[in-house]
Structure 1
Amino acid sequence: MTAQATYDKLLAEIAKNEDHKYFDILAKNEKSIDWLAFAARIYRKSHSTNTITSYCKGIVEFRSMVMQGTYASLGSAIEQVKGQTNGLAYKMLDDFVTWCDASRQFRPRTTRNSFLAVVSLFGFLEIELNDSKLDNIRKSLPTPKDLRDEYPPNSEIRAIDSAASLTIKGYRQVINDTGFEPVDAAQLQVKDLRFNEEPVRINKDREKTGKLLEGFLSAETVETLTQIIRVENKGQNDYLFATNFTGHTLKNLREAYNLAVARAGFGEIIKDTRKGSTRYRARVKKIDGHVFGKYHLKVYKKRWFTIAVTVVPVYVAQAMLGRGAYLDEYYIQPLEKRQEFGRKILKAVSTLTVKADKADIVASVAETLGIDSSTLSDEKLSKLREAFSMAGHFLRMPNDKLQLVSKILKEANAQ
């Protein structure tokens, strides 16, 4: 494939992304910069157009900031930075962090991502930056707060499914069974499902990294998907939850899911007539301090992982989600063994039971740890829960904080 054909293919992929307008703004108005080449550099690492449009969104904000000052365009500001002798790049970056935080009131993660986007652009344009000076700005970035997620009890999940369309019910069920990202579930095609296997298996590439995803589906989910395929007369190459996958597909699925959440009693339905026609949208209950709905779609991914690691080894759960470091260890297992893991997870994440059977939980935990189930008292189970919770906290820590904690613990043990 020629370089031009590669660029054309990437441009077509960007156009499908729901936030492609940010790339379009830059490509249309800042022609002194090769935005497609910039996008290609980002894409070759992540293979995700979400990263491209997310970075472009941050750069559009940077452009807005410099144009409110003395610059006619982003390009003219960049020319000034290239000819700098007085640390202009660092001043601009520092001012931009303040702009994002104070003027735009972005969430900490959005501010951080926008800052990284501009740093990436400067690197692409061969503007040399001193790491220590950059670190000084990084240290001043707002600190993200952990989301206080809670997943719905099974009775509420079933209420949401009852209020949803057949498509949204199947979409949510797939995320529930597999732990897939909403964007990966949205891109499922009929051919990705192995209906001839038991349990039915999904085999596809992860949108964000291109790594292989594997998931297993419960009989209830398969029944829903079979109905969707039959009612909508879908063929092997058709998308399960959309007519085609465009930049608006994920947004539309999210909005339809939120309507089901509101209809189930966890929000309210708003009648919208602003664009000359009547449509209904949802106002759902939010997580305190965040824009996310209390029961946003990724809650089911987090629910899946939290439950899965109690019944299968952690590497299995990580590999099923397409996380590269675990794939070799997972795929060396024969399909029969992977199916066995899948059955255990499906039983544990099922929403059809109000409460998991305690004996089954004890047996699954004991088997995973390779110990006698009779030795697992209530006290030991409680301590295991605490240990897994603490382990999850450490896994979410940035490397610098993790290293600091490790150093403190070593010093404490030496005393």
Structure 2
Amino acid sequence: MLEPQRIVIVGAGLAGASAAAELRERGYRGGVVVLGGETHRPYELPPLSKGLLLGDTDEPDWVRDEDFYREHDIDLRLGTVANRVELGTRVVRDSDGGEHPYDRLLLATGSRPRTLPVPGMGVPGVRTLRTLDDSLWLRSAFHTAQRIVIVGAGWIGTEAAAAARRHGLDVTVVDQIGAPLLPVLGAEVAGVFQDLHTDNGVNWRLRGGVAEIVGDSDGVRGVRLTDGTELGADLVLVAVGAAPRVELAHAAGLELADDGGVSVDAGLRTAAPDVYAAGDIASHFHPRYGRRIRVEHWSNAKDQGTHVAGNLLGAQEPYVTSPYFFSDQYDLGCEYRGLADPGTDQLVVRGDLKSREFIAFWLREGQVRAAMNVNVWDHGDALKRMVNGRLKVDEETLTKGDLSSVG
């Protein structure tokens, strides 16, 4: 496969920027164009609901220094929205009328926050959290608001709840599920997070939905639930997940998978010649799991972006990295590796759930499918080996044995 003369990357988030940087790290001398709709240079998302929202920092983690793109001859075009891909002529068109011919194309368009299909979403004081501007706005609002209702008890919702409590707000979290993070962690481990937030003053309205956000042009006043209860609020955060930005790919005729992402093979290639996808939008056939998965975590965007650079230059290496994410809430820090089904997988716990110092393992047919360390930091390499190798480990070793000797 001949080396391309010009690579166009649509998306200036972590996946796209990581791919561009890796192309130069690998010595590629051809043209690299990165198109991004935001006006900020590429940054990482985790601080937006963690350190930046807490007030511990005033900037996100930038993917690269400000001068990096110029010094490495990467044509970073911020505030430029790609609105059409012509696969036949190999051209990307943008909303300003610009044309960007490519030899190889990477789509890394990321996700957008989901909203609620209820009246009141447009009322001032109702916000989602996805961008740097969102985070800065929300942090500023924390200084003047008194009561916030957070709709959604996932990772963004629970991290935002912790930040709001630090700022002294009265916090209520609403969700249809029975416990925060329940679909990911299962009832026992989810209960740890529910108790953590309860101990820190968060109010829960679970197993219920939102009927309306109440307010007018002067601002939000509350949230009316489906049971008729109205929760007072002068700030509302909607954190009900994200949807992959696949409109560009779909309009170009690329195949979409059942999970809503762009279908790619093990090497992150689409069925269209010389077109790849990475990050949130990539529905990737993962060799380790034998099926398609689509992962929205920070590490996946970074690692897939770095990996796909080699394939853009002619390699055909499958992407085999296991999912990974981390979270910090109050005095609890955790890391999760792998991919479990908490509804059917066996839960084995090393340590004490109540003390919030433990490692949770999820086993299927005796194999470690996922592991999460909570306020325990000594076994990261061992957990990675177990998850990546799908190692069979007996319960006694997991709960009491020397994990460093496993594998």
The reply to whether TM is greater than 0.5 is no
Shorter-chain TM-score category? under 0.3
| Structure index of larger Rg | 1
Return the TM-score normalized by structure 2: 0.24
Which one has the bigger strand percentage? 2
Return the TM-score normalized by structure 1: 0.24
